[in-house]
Amino acid sequence: MEQRYTTFSLLLINISRCVQRIKNAEMAALGLKGRQVHCLFWLYNCSEGASLTRLGEMCGEDKGMMSRTVKELSEAGLVYVERSERKYKNPIRLTERGEEIAGIVAEKISAILEEGSAGISEDARDGLYRSLGLISKNLTKICKRYDPSDPS
């Protein structure tokens, strides 16, 4: 049991650190911060745009963090917010320059995913993602025992 915990924890920590380092290094060349990657990636794959709330759900971030990220991306000329009466329902969309940059981001992500999963069959990769999804779901249930008000 101890070995399983240690292996699981250290592998997840290493993967997370590597992803952060790669994101930061690759995105610095584009003048982006690592946390802006998810936002651009999801908007690139969501042609109708997304509300701040929906974008936060897709990126796994709270509204406050998403609001700051969208503001930064807007100031950089990569996204714009269509205005309406409902603040959090306004669709956020990529600008023309944003489309260009997000396309580069998507290509980089695809190449790194391909290289990162070298030697793993498609079936094994699918099984891994199913297993990780189940572990995530189970751990989320356990976390709710500690903080029932947590909506995640």
Per-residue pLDDT 10s for the chain (152 aa) are 789 999 999 999 999 999 989 988 888 888 998 779 989 999 999 888 898 889 988 888 888 888 999 999 999 999 998 876 666 678 999 999 999 999 999 999 999 999 999 999 999 999 999 999 999 999 989 998 998 776 65
Torsion angle (degrees, nearest 10) of CA 113, 119, 123, 127: -70
**Nearest-10 crossing angle of helices 2-28, 96-116:** 140
Domain boundaries, the chain: 2-146
The C-alpha atoms of residue 132 and residue 140 are separated, in whole angstroms, by 12
Spatial CA neighbour of 22 closest among 98, 120, 104, 112: 112
What pTM value is reported for the model?
Answer: 0.80
How far is the C-alpha of 118 from the C-alpha of 53, rounded, in Å? 35
CA distance from start to end of the chain: 27
Q: Quickly name the fold that domain 2-146 has.
A: Arc Repressor Mutant, subunit A (1.10.10)
